[in-house]
Structure 1
């Protein structure tokens, strides 16, 4: 299995961030793969 990582950066904008406690996020990702010519085995 291959792994990939997503990095989130939360920037302090000087306002109260506690209002976001308990929130969640849903991500929908699409990946496109292209196969190159291989070699005969």
Structure 2
């Protein structure tokens, strides 16, 4: 999956590294998929 970010540009994230949440996170209630990016 390719992710567009304002800080890092386009980042390729393997699908197995995507974290899915059924209710989202605090402050991001409408977002259900996340990934951690090292910089």
- What is the TM-score with the length of structure 1 in the denominator? 0.19
Structure with the bigger RCO (C-alpha within 8 Å, sep 6+) is 2
Greater strand share, structure number: 2
Structure number with larger C-alpha Rg: 1
- What is the TM-score with the length of structure 2 in the denominator? 0.19
